[in-house]
Amino acid sequence: MRRLRPYFKYLRAVRGPVAVAITCGVIYGASNGALPLLVKYVFPRIFSPAGPRLPLGEVALIASAIPLIFLLRALSGYVNSYFTQLAGVRILEALRLDYFKKLQVLPLSFVQGKQTGDLLSRGLADTAQLQFALTLVANDGIKQPATLLFSLAAIVVLAVTSQGAWLAIVCLAAVPLVVFPIRYVGRKVIKRAAQMQSQLGSVTSQFSENLSAAREVRAFGLEQHETNRFAAACRALITSQMKIVKYAQALTPAIEVISAAGIALTLVYAYGSGLKLETFVALITALYGSYEPIKKIGALNSELKRATASLDRLEVVLHEPITIADPAQPVAIGRLRGDVAFEGVTFAYKADEPVLRNVSARVPAGTICALVGPSGAGKSTFANLVPRFYEAGAGRVTVDDQDVRSLRLADLRRNIAVVSQDPVLFNDTIYANLLLGRTDATRAEVEQAARDAFAHEFITQLPQGYDTIVGERGALVSGGQKQRIALARAFLRNAPILILDEATSALDSDSEAAIQVALKKLMAGKTVFIIAHRFSTIRDATKIIVFDRGELVATGDHAALYNTSALYKSLYDRQTAGAAT
């Protein structure tokens, strides 16, 4: 329970429904103590052979109390459950929103270092498990202890008024014993629950991975292989789930056996002490009423243990420090010129494995700068440090002589546009995807940006035009069309700094020719970083930076580098020779 205490803050927003649920839970519990008292004090008056028979009307009046008690019990139980569920779904909404918001501000290195399916599982399955536990605490955490306390109070009253304290002690002797199976099962469940939630993340990850690679699965005939792999993951999940079931479901029978032993002990003691039948029946009724909430409290304990396992997985994200954030006192900026400098920058995704080592370079405003080098040399990392997608471990990156860490992220990134090799379009209309470039743009500005990117013509030929849904990740438009939409977004943003991650490498020749024309217009007057995998894309570069194993090894234009840099000459000759053949 202590682990969940910090998350009770989610109950504050729903304190009204929770207060109603708690009140009704207490009423529900109190009604449980009424039945034994009826058995002890009311029924004997009706059926006593010694006294005169009561009038039928008086008996009917007494009998009407029974459905009234159960009506009160039913209504309070219903209202308790309804408002508890209402609080629960709102808690789930707030919890998932906090989880999602945290993912938005964590550095890319954290998000990219996790399996997408596992992050989905944490945000969906683990939040649902935690919400269920918090709801259960708000519900049974009040109702069941109240029911137990009122039942125990009825036992004490009946026992003390009939035979004294010893009978009460005998009746309650079995209650402490049920704690042992509850604690034992709780320890087992928390271990198994962590395994199950982890396995569920693996299943979700495989499912997500398969759907994102649907074309490759069919192209390589991997249908059966993927089915077998998914089936194995599902079997492992079932094994983990059944281990939890094995322990959790053993709890109720264990409590029932201990409870039955308690009732048997009460029977023997009651007979030996000459207890009257009506008192014994009332005691047994109260005892039976006390064991049901004990079983539910045991189940609640198991759920709390499962919630603890889910909480451990959620806290990996919720407690991850935000290493890239706005400074306490940001420097106010408007539109930047685009003068970028790296001063002794070192960066590593993992400790002691630097991707960039002591890199220093200056890219004046208006420069078209190509980043060249073997795969893994640090080109993309270098460019991604400018918008602070990653944070330099040592040294600093400046824009217009301002350290990027001194600027608000929104201000910095508003001055940068990114066009990647595989741009992402959201499952929305083309117009909505274009508007992401600048949300306050007018319709005319959006359409002009599309014209500049040679996208307006194909958009207007679609059945719904700009209102056409592009599908998940732009699956319903071609690669060339998707790239033109991404370029139109960059035109609309009109940022002074532009990062191009091989924006034409995956296109056919016709699409590439059109996009190259658009790119020339887009790059005019801007500071451009071209992450070059093909040397044909850097013919317009005014500056080339060569990387090798995380170090900046050469800088210059093509002619100078071809004559002075062996690595650049080797890379260029190898690629142009391959293109010639």
CATH class for domain 425-494?
alpha beta
Q: How many CB atoms lie within 10 A of CB 240?
A: 19
- Over the stretch 399-442, which tens digit does the pLDDT of each residue have? 999 999 999 999 999 999 988 877 888 888 999 999 988 888 99
DSSP assignment, residue 556? Answer: E
Q: Which two tokens stand for residue 94?
A: 């707030």
- How far apart are alpha carbons 359 and 451 in whole angstroms? 39
CATH class for domain 350-415+496-581?
alpha beta
Q: Where are the domains of the chain?
A: 5-318, 350-415+496-581, 425-494
DSSP assignment, residue 404? Answer: G
Fold match between 5-318 and 425-494?
no
Of the segments 47-61, 108-122, 142-156, 561-575, which one has the largest average pLDDT value?
561-575
Q: Which residues contact 130 (CB under 8 A, 6 or more apart)?
A: 4, 7, 95, 307, 310, 311, 314
| 3-state secondary structure string across 114-167 | CCHHHHHHHHHHHHHHHHHHHHHHHHHHHHHHHHHHHHHHHHHHHHHHHCCHHH
- How far apart are alpha carbons 406 and 462 in whole angstroms? 45
Q: What helix, strand, coil percent values describe the chain, rounded to 5?
A: 65, 10, 25
- Over the stretch 332-378, which tens digit does the pLDDT of each residue have? 998 999 999 999 999 988 877 889 999 999 999 999 999 998 888 88
pLDDT of 294 > 80? The answer is no
Taking the alpha carbons at both ends of the chain, their separation in whole angstroms is: 70
Beta strands at 543-548 and 353-363: parallel, antiparallel or unpaired: unpaired
In this structure, CATH architecture of domain 5-318:
Up-down Bundle (1.20)
Q: Can you tell me whether residue 376 is helix, strand or coil? A: coil
- Over the stretch 186-235, which tens digit does the pLDDT of each residue have? 666 666 776 777 777 778 777 777 777 776 777 667 788 888 888 888 88
Q: Can you tell me whether residue 3 is helix, strand or coil? A: coil
* pTM of the entire predicted model: 0.70
DSSP assignment, residue 370? Answer: E
Predicted confidence band at 138 (pLDDT cuts at 50, 70, 90)?
Answer: low
Listing DSSP states for 419-434 in one string gives E-SS----SSBHHHHH
Q: Can you tell me whether residue 489 is helix, strand or coil? A: helix
- How far apart are alpha carbons 325 and 409 in whole angstroms? 7
431 φ/ψ angles, rounded to the nearest 5 degrees: -60, -45
pLDDT of 379 > 80? The answer is yes
